[in-house]
Amino acid sequence: MNPDLVSQNSVGVKICGIQTLDDALLCIEKGADAIGLNFWRQSKRYVSRTAVEGWIEKLPSSFERVGVFVNEDPKIVRSMLDDGLIHVAQFHGSESNEYCNEFKDEFKIIKAFGVKSLDSVEQASKCTIQTVLLDAYCGSDFGGSGHTFEWEFAKVFQEDNPSRPIVLAGGLNRSNVCKAINQLSPLAVDVASGVENNQGYKDPDLVDQFIQSVKLSSL
């Protein structure tokens, strides 16, 4: 997330896996700071560029849209950024520093890492992108699993990289997000399954309760 746009909550809230305009508008209404749009075709939360283009005029221009990509053709990513479809690109695959460096001087970029060991922390530390997202490692699913990871690994990253902000993801929900924030003080928290109903769409009550929990932890 862009630190300049983390304004409604001292810890930003990004709600990921938005698949419909109604869900996007719900997140805005409830006070989220950003939405995540998953353009990886193999994701169960995949949304097409065409669909998102149909929403743009109905969304506030200041509301941050984050495009989530997994090892995507850089020309496709660049096109979405250049056209203003998204404000931020989040690389959630095995993108190299060389890949990321193609974008970092022109655009806002987040690089995600699935965390399962200190080796994961070391990989994140070597990343040339300033803001990293730390998620639970889930193999070829690349996030959105609803699983948590040992937050002590995130703490190690922060100790090794005190000037670098983190976005925390991985199994967050209304019950554990306060503890996560109190333990790690992340730039933002990222949630998908923790605010969804059984059909995979965002539940208004869960979205509201999650955001209220973040606000309480930020007091």
pLDDT in tens, 26-60: 999 999 999 999 999 999 999 999 999 999 999 99
Instruction: Give phi and psi for 166, each to the nearest 5.
Output: -120, 150
82 catalytically annotated = no
Q: Which residue has the tokens 């554990």?
A: 176
- Average pLDDT of the residues of the chain: 92
Cα 59 to the center of its chain, rounded Å: 18
16 catalytically annotated = yes
pLDDT tens column, 7-17: 455 899 999 99
d(CA 193, CA 145): 7
Q: Is 208's pLDDT higher than 90?
A: yes
The one catalytic residue in 16, 27, 100, 127 is: 16
Q: What is the 3-state secondary structure (H, E, C) of the chain?
A: CCHHHCCCCCCEEEECCCCCHHHHHHHHHHCCCEEEEECCCCCCCECCHHHHHCCHHHCCCCCEEEEEECCCCHHHHHHHHHCCCCCEEEECCCCCHHHHHCCCCCCEEEEEEEECCHHHHHHHHHCCCCCEEEEECCHHHCCCCCCCCCHHHHHHHHHHCCCCCEEECCCCCCCCHHHHHHHHCCCEEEECHHHECCCCCECHHHHHHHHHHHHHHCC
* CATH of segment(s) 3-217: 3.20.20.70
As a whole number, mean pLDDT of residues 125-151 equals: 82
The one catalytic residue in 23, 33, 135, 190 is: 135
pLDDT tens column, 63-107: 999 999 999 999 999 999 999 999 999 999 999 999 999 999 999
pTM of the shown model = 0.92
Q: What residues does each domain of the chain span?
A: 3-217
